[in-house]
Amino acid sequence: MTDRGDRGTGISRRALLGAAAALGPLALAGCQEEDTAATGNRAPDLAALTLDGDATDLSPYMGRATVVSFWLIGCLPCLTEMPTLEAIHQAESPRGMSLVAVGVGCTPAVARQVARETGATFPFLVDELGLSADRFAVSVYPTTLVLDGDGIIRARFAGEIEQTALVSAVRPLLRHP
């Protein structure tokens, strides 16, 4: 007899407990009351993992204008927008912009493959449980947000981004526009 804590779905109690222990800090963070993700408000906490599996948030990007792009595997506009994001990353990062792509519902291995196949050199994070996507009220993919150096959401784009629109939102926030 297997140790089944799921009443017949095949997931063992041991597997559930192991997953809960590994994801505990992220899962608990999802239970806290969050800020709204509207333009003009402070960005909610990001609950994501690096491609090495370490928990991270937006703190490494504070002090810089930051573009946060939420994407899904299997979302064609999400994947076709990656070269546009890379072009903006290459052009604007020397002026003080950061860009990070958050893969929702994917694993680090999948995110690594997407970065490799699209030629993206900016950081990729994973939001396997969709906690950050929920916090940022993402309902359309891709969704791209522009944060100022204080973490305030200055622009929000739903759907595939036009390079000129994103550059227009980012440049006023840069040290040397």
- Give the residue extent of every domain in the chain: 13-173
**What pLDDT was estimated at residue 30?**
42
Torsion angles phi and psi, residue 154, rounded to 5:
-100, -20
Question: Quick one: DSSP state of residue 46?
Answer: P
**What pLDDT was estimated at residue 76?**
95
> What's the pLDDT tens digit per position in 30-49?
444 444 788 999 999 899 99
pTM over 0.85: no
Query: Closest Cα partner for 147 from 38, 29, 71?
Result: 38
Choices 3.40.30.10, 3.30.43.10, 3.40.50.360, 2.60.40.10: CATH for 13-173: 3.40.30.10
Per this entry, what is the length of the chain? 177
**What pLDDT was estimated at residue 175?**
76
Dist CA 150 CA 131 (whole Å): 22
> What's the pLDDT tens digit per position in 57-82?
999 999 999 999 999 999 999 999 99
What's the order of all strands across the beta sheet hosting 153-158? 55-56, 48-49, 124-127, 97-104, 65-71, 143-147, 153-158
Q: Which positions of the chain have pLDDT values less than 70?
A: 1-35, 176-177
**What pLDDT was estimated at residue 53?**
93
Cα 51 to the chain's mean position, in Å? 12
**What pLDDT was estimated at residue 176?**
65
